[in-house]
């Protein structure tokens, strides 16, 4: 399936039906009075978060979503039927913005979330509504109001607990294939990964977390170099990052160059993303020179990012220990969040 994480669509809500001008005309009922019914409201366009969807592919080819119009009012006090709603199904984690103003209309980050993204027009009142002691035969009714017509920008941000970042060929795809059931394309050339991958990782009995592996970044990604930074949005919702370094290609004289390059790109994309907790990991330590380079990295690494974790995604060395470390951090983060929620509720 082709991965589509952003698109634009037009949504048109239904127009309201017009009110009816009618008078009761029956034998033996002189001066029956007005009996024009109200028009029905137009249908809404509704966005619904569907957990079975993983991409915006359907919307790429369905550019216009239109709800039904309201039925016109009729005589004998018959009101028009409401227009049928149009439901737009989107993946969980979708953000919807107004294409003209940039206003965020909704962030559907829970399965079953739904919002009205275009409201239907109100139905017009029939002349029966305007009858009174001083106006016994109103000969007018209201027209229905038009429904909203909007151009929308739809953006998908994957929901993951942990994001794996790093330069191309750092071993991100290999790592996610080892710790989860995901089987991404793996090869010995840069930019093997072209779309984000999501995997579920078990770290304790009955406990798991979701990890996202995004395509590799290079210096100048914020300017569009390489694959650019368009996929970084998929790790903005994570609680923490695994920063994977290729310990084989590290320059012992400047061991933090690769690490600083990626952090600089994170900062330029979103300062909040750069501020997320990071576990720094040196990969490929099954190769002898990698272990020596890893020592040089740890010596220069700022204190807050220590200890440096050493793994080999190929042999599995250190991988289980890394998974347990991530799980412990997420457990603690959840406890703190629940504690803060309890304190706010009391």
List pLDDT tens digits, range 232-290.
777 888 889 999 999 998 888 888 998 998 898 888 888 888 889 999 999 999 998 88
Q: Same domain, yes or no, for 89 and 182?
A: no
Give the whole-angstrom CA distance, residue 94 versus residue 294.
39
Q: What is the CATH number of the domain that holds 53?
A: 2.70.210.12
Overall residue count recorded for the chain in this entry = 346
Q: What pLDDT is stored for residue 2 in this prediction?
A: 58
Q: What is the mean pLDDT of the chain?
A: 86
Q: Which of 147-151, 179-183, 311-315 has the lowest mean pLDDT?
A: 179-183
pLDDT tens digits for range 211-227: 888 776 766 655 655 55
Instruction: From 141, 135, 8, select the one nearest 62 (Cα to Cα).
Output: 8
Local confidence band at 49 (pLDDT 50, 70, 90 cut-offs): very high
Cβ atoms of 101 and 46 closer than 8 Å? no
Q: What pLDDT is stored for residue 159 in this prediction?
A: 79
Cβ atoms of 222 and 270 closer than 8 Å? no
Q: Same domain, yes or no, for 166 and 144?
A: no
Does a structural domain hold residue 338? yes
Q: Same domain, yes or no, for 150 and 166?
A: no
Residue percentage of the chain with pLDDT more than 90: 42
Q: Same domain, yes or no, for 58 and 199?
A: no
Give the whole-angstrom CA distance, residue 181 versus residue 199.
7
Does a structural domain hold residue 31? yes
Q: What pLDDT is stored for residue 216 in this prediction?
A: 67
Q: Look up tokens 């204190």; give the residue.
A: 303
Q: What's the rounded mean pLDDT across residues 53-68?
A: 87
Q: Same domain, yes or no, for 288 and 196?
A: yes
Does a structural domain hold residue 134? yes
Q: Same domain, yes or no, for 150 and 65?
A: yes
Q: What's the rounded mean pLDDT across residues 20-39?
A: 88
Which of 156, 182, 200 lies at the terminal end of a domain, its last residue? 156
Q: Same domain, yes or no, for 274 and 150?
A: no
∠236-242-245 over CA atoms, to 5°? 125
Q: Same domain, yes or no, for 200 and 278?
A: yes
Which of 156, 177, 194 lies at the terminal end of a domain, its last residue? 156
Q: Which residues contact 116 (CB under 8 A, 6 or more apart)?
A: 44, 45, 46
Strand order in the sheet with 86-91: 86-91, 45-50, 114-118
Give the whole-angstrom CA distance, residue 210 versus residue 189.
26
> Which domain does 127 fall in, by range?
6-156
Q: Same domain, yes or no, for 321 and 174?
A: yes
Residue 185 pLDDT greater than 70, yes or no? no
Q: What pLDDT is stored for residue 204 in this prediction?
A: 79
Cβ atoms of 93 and 233 closer than 8 Å? no
Q: What pLDDT is stored for residue 27 in this prediction?
A: 82
Q: What's the rounded mean pLDDT across residues 117-139?
A: 93
Q: What are the backbone angles phi and psi of residue 261, rounded to the nearest 5°?
A: -60, -50
Q: Same domain, yes or no, for 212 and 280?
A: yes
Residue 39 pLDDT greater than 90, yes or no? yes
Q: Same domain, yes or no, for 254 and 324?
A: yes
Does a structural domain hold residue 130? yes
Q: What is the CATH number of the domain that holds 195?
A: 3.40.50.300
Residue 141 pLDDT greater than 70, yes or no? yes
Q: What pLDDT is stored for residue 145 in this prediction?
A: 96
Local confidence band at 12 (pLDDT 50, 70, 90 cut-offs): very high
Does a structural domain hold residue 1? no
Helix axis angle, 172-179 to 319-345, nearest 10°: 80
Number of domains in the chain: 2
Instruction: From 250, 252, 276, select the one nearest 263 (Cα to Cα).
Output: 276
Q: What pLDDT is stored for residue 79 in this prediction?
A: 95
Does a structural domain hold residue 204? yes
Does a structural domain hold residue 209? yes
Give the whole-angstrom CA distance, residue 91 versus residue 93.
6
Local confidence band at 1 (pLDDT 50, 70, 90 cut-offs): very low
b/e map 289-305, b = 16+ CB within 10 Å = ebeebbebbbeebeeeb
Taking the CB of residue 222, how many other CB atoms lie within 10 A of it?
16
3-class DSSP assignment, residue 140: coil
Strand order in the sheet with 240-246: 197-204, 207-213, 162-165, 240-246, 278-283, 309-310
Does a structural domain hold residue 85? yes
Residue percentage of the chain with pLDDT more than 70: 89
Q: Same domain, yes or no, for 86 and 206?
A: no
Local confidence band at 90 (pLDDT 50, 70, 90 cut-offs): very high
Give the whole-angstrom CA distance, residue 72 versus residue 200.
52
Q: Which of 2-6, 26-30, 184-188 has the lowest mean pLDDT?
A: 184-188
Q: Which of 107-116, 204-213, 269-278, 337-346 has the lowest mean pLDDT?
A: 337-346
Cβ atoms of 235 and 165 closer than 8 Å? yes
Q: What's the rounded mean pLDDT across residues 286-309?
A: 89
The greatest distance separating any two alpha carbons of the chain, rounded to the nearest whole angstrom, comes to 106
Q: What pLDDT is stored for residue 191 in this prediction?
A: 45
Q: What pLDDT is stored for residue 88 in this prediction?
A: 94
Which of 110, 140, 156 lies at the terminal end of a domain, its last residue? 156
């Amino acid at each position: 399936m082709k991965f589509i994480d952003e698109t634009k669509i037009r949504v048109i809500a239904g127009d309201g039906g017009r009110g009816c001008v009618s008078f009761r005309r029956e034998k033996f009922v002189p001066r029956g009075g007005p009996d024009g019914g109200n028009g029905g409201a137009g249908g809404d366009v509704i966005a619904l978060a569907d957990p079975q969807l993983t991409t915006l592919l359907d919307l790429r080819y369905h550019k216009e979503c239109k709800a039904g119009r309201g039925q016109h009012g009729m005589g004998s006090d018959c009101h028009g039927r409401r227009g049928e709603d149009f439901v737009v199904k989107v993946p969980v984690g979708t953000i919807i913005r107004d294409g003209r103003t940039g206003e965020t209309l909704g962030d559907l980050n829970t399965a079953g979330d739904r919002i009205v993204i275009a409201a239907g027009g109100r139905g017009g009142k029939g002349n029966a509504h305007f009858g009174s002691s001083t106006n016994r035969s109103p000969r007018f009714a209201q027209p229905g109001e038009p429904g909203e017509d909007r151009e929308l920008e739809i953006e998908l941000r994957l929901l993951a607990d942990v994001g794996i970042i790093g330069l191309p060929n750092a071993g991100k795809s290999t790592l996610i294939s080892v710790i989860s059931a995901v089987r991404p394309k793996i090869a010995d050339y840069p930019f093997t990964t072209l779309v984000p991958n999501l995997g579920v990782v078990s770290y304790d009995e009955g406990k798991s977390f979701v990890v996202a592996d995004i395509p590799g970044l290079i210096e100048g990604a914020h300017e569009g170099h390489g694959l650019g930074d368009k996929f970084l949005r998929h790790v903005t919702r994570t609680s923490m990052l695994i920063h994977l370094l290729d310990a084989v290609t590290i320059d012992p004289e400047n061991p933090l160059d690769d690490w600083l390059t990626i952090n600089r790109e994170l900062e330029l994309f979103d300062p909040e993303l750069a501020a997320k907790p990071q576990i720094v990991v040196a990969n490929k330590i099954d190769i002898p020179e990698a272990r020596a380079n890893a020592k040089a990295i740890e010596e220069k690494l700022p204190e807050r990012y220590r200890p440096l974790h050493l793994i080999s995604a190929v042999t599995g060395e250190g991988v289980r220990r890394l998974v347990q470390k991530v799980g412990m951090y997420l457990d603690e983060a959840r406890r703190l969040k629940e504690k803060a929620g309890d304190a706010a509720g009391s």
